[in-house]
Amino acid sequence: MTARRAALAVAVVLAAFTGVLVIGLLGREDDTAAMAPSPLDGELAPALVGPTIDGSTYDLDRDRGAWVIVNFFATWCPPCVREHPELVEFAERHGDGDRRVLSVVFGGPGEAAATRTFFDRNGGDWPVLLDDGGRAAVDYGVTKVPESILVAPSGVVVGKIRGGVTADGLDALIDALLAGVGS
């Protein structure tokens, strides 16, 4: 009887351990995109002005009137590398139209050269803002790349996407927001 009870206790402990393990594995983070709440939602997007990797100066205000995907990324981040072709697709699909991409380099000083090489190899001709000092990342509350903040034509932040984006997903999101405004 005692042996049976001991076996039952071991089985219960093993079952609990397995359950915790399964729940942990199911809940593991991946790099797929997910909309996340942001303290910036509904607020005017913080200023983004500064040097780009090609030596020019970018100002987010100049893109007022267009949807802007503010994409924080790093060349050393595998999910960022995986999402890059989707951003290229999105940018080529819309050109200089009303849907644009801005990349912000995340990860401290010294990233300019690596980022230039990355864009030369992988394509993409949208502005790439340097963020030495991490001011922009703090302004936008970026904790982990890739993270994309969607700024409406009015200049207001309407959403934050954690993880990699897709061209179709971005278009669907903007279309849904437009439909919501129109309805």
Window 116 to 135, contacts with another protein (CB under 8 A): 133-135
Could you tell me which stretch among 12-20, 89-97, 103-111, 112-120 binds another protein (CB under 8 A)?
Answer: 103-111
Binding mask 20-49 for another protein (x = CB under 8 A): -------------------xx---------
H runs (alpha helix) in 27-166: 78-94, 112-122, 135-139
How far apart are alpha carbons 149 and 69 in whole angstroms?
Answer: 6
* Token pair belonging to 94: 């819309």
User: Which residue carries 């996340």 as its tokens?
Assistant: 36
How far apart are alpha carbons 151 and 67 in whole angstroms?
Answer: 6
**Position among 58, 91, 107, 167 found at the interface with another protein (CB under 8 A):** 107
CB 39 within 8 A of CB 116: no
Give the shortest CB-139-to-another protein separation in angstroms.
7
78 binds another protein per the rule CB under 8 A? no
Specify the amino acid at residue 139: D
Could you tell me which stretch among 57-65, 78-86, 140-148, 152-160 binds another protein (CB under 8 A)?
Answer: 140-148
Binding site for another protein (CB under 8 A): 39-40, 74, 106-108, 133-135, 137-144
